[in-house]
Structure 1
Amino acid sequence: MKIRYTFVAAAVIALGCVGLAQAQEKTLRLLTWADYAPADVVAQFEKETGYKVELTLSNNEEMISKLRATGGAGFDLAQPSQDRIAGPQTEFGIYKPMDLSKLKTELFIPSMLDATKINTTVAGKVYGLPHIWGTDGLVVNTKLAKMENYTDLCKAEFKGKVAYRLKRPTLLAFAFASGKDPFALYSNPKAYTELMDEVGKTLTACKPNVKFYWDNKDQLLNGMRAGEIVGAMMWDTGGWKLNNEKPEIQFLAPKAGALGWIDTFAIPAKGKNDAAAYAWINFNMRPEIAAKVAGSAGNFTASKGADQLMDAKLKAQFATSFPEAALKNIKWYPAVPAGIEDIEGKVLDRIKAAN
């Protein structure tokens, strides 16, 4: 009798494992940014493919942390920025190479696809594909302030009236504004440390001008709406959103160049459903779907032809913020080598601790 019960129990467990495996085969566990998987797009994907999407919202730091903690398990598809793939992959091995044969590469803007493949290649293998892109620059209330470069945020006349993040993009922006190219120094830790130390001194001296170091978009947008903040370093979509509400608030590409980022598709090393991941990528790069996602995020997309389906007002705002010279002057983030963020972290800690 005991043997029979053992057999039955084993059979139940086996059936349970089969059921779990089947559920995993029909589920896409997606680790992504807010607004990159709008409900109507998810619903259409689920209806067309039969996959169920499990959504986890995150950011670059959290994505790396989650995947590092599990060795690349827990998710089938992630969306880190292109500069956050090669370094973490080299250090932690948290992604698996892309199988380009499973992709409809004709759906991508060729130049953006080629550039992202180069920036996400490790040991001859590609680990990322482009999805959504945008920039960081200056958002200025033109009735209350005149600014042309990041360092204008530190002018004495704007004491207590500006905001920016105490994060690496601010360090890089101020480095470019000082006339240096921080990206060119990535391979020289000593020179990079010296440059970051100089930027740290500038930002420490600038602290009296900072109303707050923003860490969520509502805090920043509300500060700009209320006139508490007359200028900020922030992303383009936030500036265009405010411009819709108050035409005097404008997103400007600084003289030193806006910082350009590309968020990607990357497949975690221990993802269990690559088929669902590739299905989601190909689905999202269809122009009509890409336009919906871009509209939700308020940014532009690497999907070929999607720009023709974008909101006319957003296209006009983009054209105003980025005349041809400013577009050519965008500083695109390259891959971040190991150790660079440790250097930056120490400088940010010193700025935070300074009186």
Structure 2
Amino acid sequence: MKRRRTSAMALAVAALVTGTGATAPTPTPRPTPTATQMDGTLQILTYRGYAEYGGVSPKANWVGSFEKETGCRLARLDAVDTPADLAARATTGDYDVITAGPTLAADLIARKQVQPIDPAKVGGYDDLSGRFRDMAKVSGKVYGVPYLWGYHEFVYDLGKVKGESLGQAFDSDRIALRDNPLTIADAALADTTVKDPYELSEEQFERAVTLLEQRKGRTYWKKPIELVKGFATGTLDYAEATPYYRLLLQKAGLPVKTVPTTARTGWLDSWMLGANLPDTTCAYRWLTWMTASGAQRDA
């Protein structure tokens, strides 16, 4: 069993490295410290895989197509792997366009590090899901253009536990939870009386926090490699994950399945404009380009 799990870990790690682009990084133009939108250049911060330059695969090069078709140029493209890395860089205020999830987006808006977006200048904006568009609004103003979304699911080791409910998962010491505020909403869903994990009463919120605090030895993961190691070495019975990482573990031969639930939490990453952008012409061209079905399909 130990040998089989070790082999599974090797396979999963190899797939994880390939899937997250942790091989040779995508080449980007040399940063230009004085670059501004006024000279037709952009400085962009996003997740790895959201804006590709063809470094991993020549077929994944929608950035090059954008430059060729619009005449705008990326003077700087910083791609990171985790929300923590993204947040650390985003708060410097050095970027023209940023990809942000709900937590970071709210922080950037509060700090006035991003500016409202005029949706009339974003081609295809009205074709996006109305529900997604509303998620990027604050006080009636649009601050983000929806790009990619995802959701959490809980997985368990079929060879060790039955995994019949979220309640069982949260009662376990051998669970890895994501180090993210959204985990509070996931904990709230373990309470079957909760209908909306994003609109909790004070009592529901306290119960969710108590559920998270009652087991002090739990793992809170930031990088997915921690999930792979946990299941491959047999130290985890449950984990808060995403469909991609579940499929990765299953492909490696690990016996993991999804805990059945009636609801799941999710997030939406949106493109936002930096507050210090002197000329937004190329930034809006970028938003339009990344809103198109071709770019979203490639991503």
TM-score (norm. length: structure 2): 0.73
2:264 counterpart of 1:292: no
Higher helix proportion (structure 1 or 2)? 1
The superposition leaves residues 160-206 of structure 1 with CA deviations (integer Å, 9 ceiling, x where unpaired) of x3211343222211112113344223xxxxx53x4333323322323
2:177 counterpart of 1:164: yes
Determine helix, strand or coil for the equivalent of 1:32.
strand
| 1:250 corresponds to | 257
Kept in 1: contact 2:151–2:267 (CA 8 A): yes
Unaligned regions of 5+ residues in structure 2, if any? Answer: 1-32, 55-60
- The Cα shift of 1:83 comes to 5.5
Q: Matched residues in 2 for 1:152 and 1:276: separation?
A: 51
2:154 counterpart of 1:141: no
Within 5 Å, which residues of 2 pair with 1:207-222? 207-208=216-217, 210=218, 212-222=219-229
2:53 counterpart of 1:39: yes
The percentage of counterpart residues that share the same residue type is 23
Q: Of 86, 91, 95, which residue of structure 1 is paired with 2:114?
A: 95
Q: Of 227, 240, 244, which residue of structure 2 is paired with 1:237?
A: 244
My pick for the range that moved more, 240-249 or 169-178, is 240-249
| 1:346 corresponds to | none
Compared CA separation, residues 44 and 244, structure 1 to 2 (3 A)? farther
Aligned residues between the structures = 256
Compared CA separation, residues 241 and 198, structure 1 to 2 (3 A)? same
- The Cα shift of 1:138 comes to 0.7
Determine helix, strand or coil for the equivalent of 2:199.
helix
The superposition leaves residues 113-141 of structure 1 with CA deviations (integer Å, 9 ceiling, x where unpaired) of x2233222233321111110110111222
The superposition leaves residues 79-111 of structure 1 with CA deviations (integer Å, 9 ceiling, x where unpaired) of 11145435642x322221212222121684x4x
Kept in 1: contact 2:125–2:145 (CA 8 A): no
2:62 counterpart of 1:52: no
Unaligned regions of 5+ residues in structure 1, if any? Answer: 1-18, 186-190, 294-355
Compared CA separation, residues 258 and 148, structure 1 to 2 (3 A)? farther
Q: Matched residues in 2 for 1:129 and 1:224: separation?
A: 36
Q: Of 199, 204, 207, which residue of structure 1 is paired with 2:213?
A: 204
Determine helix, strand or coil for the equivalent of 1:75.
coil
Q: Matched residues in 1 for 2:279 and 2:294: separation?
A: 25
Kept in 1: contact 2:157–2:238 (CA 8 A): yes
- The Cα shift of 1:232 comes to 0.3
The superposition leaves residues 267-304 of structure 1 with CA deviations (integer Å, 9 ceiling, x where unpaired) of 111124522222222222333332221xxxxxxxxxxx
TM-score (norm. length: structure 1): 0.63
2:100 counterpart of 1:80: yes
Compared CA separation, residues 251 and 184, structure 1 to 2 (3 A)? same
